[in-house]
A = this chain, B = another copy of it.
Amino acid sequence: MAKQKKQPRPKAETPKGFRDYFGAEVDERNAMLAEIARVYALYGFDPLETSGVETVEALGKFLPDVDRPNEGVFAWEEDDSGWVALRYDLTAPLARVAAQYRNDLPSPYRRYAMGPVWRNEKPGPGRFRQFYQCDADTVGSASPAADAEICAMLADTLEAVGIPRGDYLVRINNRKILDGVLDHIGLGRTSLDADTLRGTIEQAFDVETRNAVLRTIDKFDKVGEQGVRDLLGKGRKDDSGAFIDGVGLDEAQADPVVAFLTSKAESAEETFVNLRAAVGESAVGADGIAELEQIAALLAAQGYGPDRIEVDPSVVRGLGYYTGPVFEAELTFEITDEKGRPRQFGSVAGGGRYDDLVKRFTGQAVPATGVSIGVDRLLAALRAKGRLSGETRGPVVVTVMDRDRMADYQAMVGELRSAGIRAEVYLGNPKNFGNQLKYADKRASPVAVIQGGDEAERGVVQLKDLVLGAKLAEGLTREEWAEQPAQVEISRADLVAEVQKMLDRD
């Protein structure tokens, strides 16, 4: 027989853009998910767990003529299922569920979902291809009360997971208002959406203009009011001195857009006055303002003031599928970035109303609204503020002095566990005792238990306080150390009580 070819050893690595989570990272995330679930459930939302894999058809993000439909998602072909993909969010699976079980689910259907989603995007620092989302949505209610409820719940949730009032702001807006502004200046969606592309060349030209206006609006943060005014009109010189062509609107058209961008006032009432001016006679614009006013009124009546939730027309949200109210939660405190510079932490959650997602499946429009919390970003924020330690206390380690008395050591950990104390026996090679203490250190163990044959005969054990030892290493003086001896001999019978005492002291 031919000699087998030797296989090269496989690389012990995750695929690009994926990572592993250890110990406290997992615990802290699970604790946060449980707390979010508690608030969501309190609001009457029911859990739903769909699987990680969906048909590409149901996810519906792809062009029919693309051979390998993997733009932004992980997709592959299966013999018996056709093209399938990992879910890229929790909303697309919800739309599928709402359509699939429409005769069985209560209506409105309030559901929450939490779990990993996958994006086939270029990974970067802190940006991974698998991350957690935590969504709550109400399907089947067109009422602005449903939107208001989501916003109130979002504020409650942020406080429940440890973001105090004042450190966050939920900002709300309505997509229809921007539509109203465009309507007002003759570039409204009603006459120009995808279905009407079959129309005249003149209209196609207006779509171009409309898109140019939207791109200009996006530059407001960078170029300011006058800059936008120039870019909407004849154009302007940029910083490098190059001339940027304008969209070519006249003054009367540019005014409402600028009015919209600068509409945010001290009070919601004034903001609404400004917005009404910006949308003019547009029906869709008036609609959007009315919805936003209702949401604001409901929230105010429930005591959610502008210190928690405020109307802010600058909120747009990237996703194209939002059709009405949109919301965004932002953390308002500063953190220090990798380069030591202070910066705002920014957005940790967002959502809005999307009335067309279920329609894809059934042909019937189903109103829906919801929010998605970026759990990993929220955890990062709490860690940046020092509100999560990223560390957990390790177990009590019972060391092994005599290999043949393993049963004695197991009995000790058994007693400790029965009292609810994390505990383990050292299971490595017990020959080198120093290694056992090094191990206990690496485990962040608070207490090491030591019993040699001599101690066993005398019915005692040694307890070594490893937290105190660490404090000593960090600068506790010898005198302080002497007052609180880091190692004590106790009766074997008092093991649990004495360990508990030591844990309580730390």
Chain A positions within 8 Å of B, measured between CB atoms, are 1, 3-4, 7, 9-16, 18-23, 25-27, 29-30, 34, 37, 41-44, 46-55, 57-58, 60, 64, 74-76, 78, 80-81, 84, 86, 96-97, 99-101, 106-108, 110, 116, 118, 120, 129-130, 138, 140-141, 143, 145-146, 148-149, 197-198, 297-298, 301-303, 360-363, 394-395, 397, 406-407, 410-411, 413-414, 417, 420-425, 427-428, 439, 442-443
Contacts and interface: CB of A to CB of B under 8 A. Distances in A.
Contacts of A60: 10
B20 A47 contact: no
A11 B118 contact: no
B22 A80 contact: no
A35 B264 CA distance: 50
A86 to B, nearest CB: 7
Given A14-B54, A52-B116, A47 B27 contact: yes
Nearest to A64: B7
Contacts of A7: 64
A425 B84 contact: no
| A interface secondary structure, majority | mixed
Contacts of A75: 76
Identical chains bound together, number: 2
> By CB atoms of chain B within 10 A, which of A25, A51, A360 has the most?
A51
Given A1-B198, A425-B145, A12 B361 contact: yes
Contacts of A46: 22-23
Contact of A443 (B86, B106, B197): B106
14 contacts: A9-B360, A10-B361, A22-B48, A27-B47, A42-B423, A44-B413, A44-B422, A52-B130, A108-B427, A110-B427, A298-B406, A298-B407, A301-B410, A303-B414
B145 A363 contact: no
Contacts of A413: 43-44
Contacts of A11: 55, 57-58, 361
B425 A149 contact: yes
Contacts of A9: 360-363
Q: Which 4 A-B pairs have the closest CB atoms?
A: A44-B424, A76-B76, A301-B407, A12-B99
A49 B1 CA distance: 44
Given A74-B76, A106-B443, A198-B1, A26 B14 contact: no
A116 B115 CA distance: 10
Contacts of A81: 15-16
Nearest to A98: B12
A500 to B, nearest CB: 14
A298 to B, nearest CB: 6
Nearest to A141: B427
A100 B298 CA distance: 54
Contact of A20 (B23, B37, B51, B442): B51
Contacts of A64: 7
A78 B363 CA distance: 35
B14 A50 contact: yes
A19 B100 CA distance: 12
A42 B146 contact: no
Contacts of A58: 10-14
B110 A43 contact: no
Contacts of A130: 51-53
Nearest to A408: B301
A233 B148 CA distance: 79
A21 B49 contact: yes
Contacts of A44: 394-395, 397, 413, 422-424, 443
A10 B51 contact: no
B407 A15 contact: no
A55 B51 CA distance: 21
A198 B3 contact: yes
Of A27, A138, A395, most buried by chain B (CB within 10 Å of CB) is A395
A504 to B, nearest CB: 18
Contacts of A37: 30
A258 to B, nearest CB: 34
B53 A15 contact: yes
Given A53-B130, A106-B443, A100 B428 contact: no
A407 B145 CA distance: 9
Contacts of A406: 143, 145, 298
Contacts of A23: 46-48
A107 B455 CA distance: 27
